[in-house]
Amino acid sequence: MTNRPAVLITGASTGIGAAYAERFARRGHDLVLVSRNKARLGAVAARLRHEAGVTVDILQADLTKLDDLLAVEARLRDDRRIGVLVNNAGASLGGTFVEQKTDDVARLVALNTMAVARLANAVAPRFAEAGAGAIINISSVVGLAPEFGMSVYGATKAFVTFLSQGLGLELGPKGVYVQAVLPAATRTEIWEHAGVDVDTLPAVMDVGDLVDAALVGFDRREPVTIPPLPDAGQWDAYQAARQAMIPGFAQAHAAERYRPAG
């Protein structure tokens, strides 16, 4: 046990989730690691117990299955040691929208959006009551760029970013920090699962570099962290342009440009 809050990480058996587990373990945090793959999860847990001397619990769960999701929700509600949630579990799909099967689309949406929202909802009341806690949601730059052609995946990540920003506004005054992390192409198994050869992509970030950068943003308490973006001013300008439109939304009549002629 440490005096630091424990961290629950989904999708923790490999890739971004495993890197978060390693980094938080190095910082002295006990861990609760969640994944479908129990063998891999156990190997990560055993290594971190040995290397970092922290307590590591494992929770095998497929977050597209309601019973498994409910078990993780219960752990978040009931285990008051947990003070950080890393909503990392996610997937992608290969092919175009017209090629993707409806059931596969439904599973993707369930994992990338519903699980994220439910787990955040399970822990947020306890964090708000305590006046402390953090929720890290792994989103993607794809959610900002329909031009990338990943329509369903991008839509789920746009949901994650919006949810994070909304929760930040709601929970921030209560002492709860919410961070959206928006990676670009990162060297994880998500590409293989989607049928994409990662080595054909023009620029791919190492997962350790991504998580290290995301944790710099975490320590700075950034609401949105975009590790690959060189110019932070571009994001600031994007936010300013969006916010400048808000007063124009409150109108009793359609804008002049939409009124019938004559």
Identify whether the C-beta of residue 34 lies closer than 8 Å to the C-beta of residue 110.
Answer: no
> Which amino acid is it at 20?
Y
Question: What long-range pairs does 138-145 form, CB within 8 A, spacing at least 24?
Answer: 138/16, 138/86, 138/87, 138/88, 138/90, 138/181, 138/183, 139/164, 139/180, 139/181, 139/182, 140/182, 140/183, 140/184, 141/182, 141/183, 141/184, 141/226, 141/228, 141/229, 143/182, 144/182
Q: Is 153 a residue of the active site? A: yes
In the set 20, 153, 177, 258, the catalytic residue is: 153
Q: From residue 244, how far is each of 222, 235, 238, 254 by CA, in Å?
A: 21, 14, 10, 18
Among the listed residues 183, 99, 194, the one whose alpha carbon sits nearest the alpha carbon of residue 137: 183
Phi and psi angles of residue 155, each rounded to the nearest 5 degrees, phi first: -65, -40
Residues acting as catalytic residues:
153
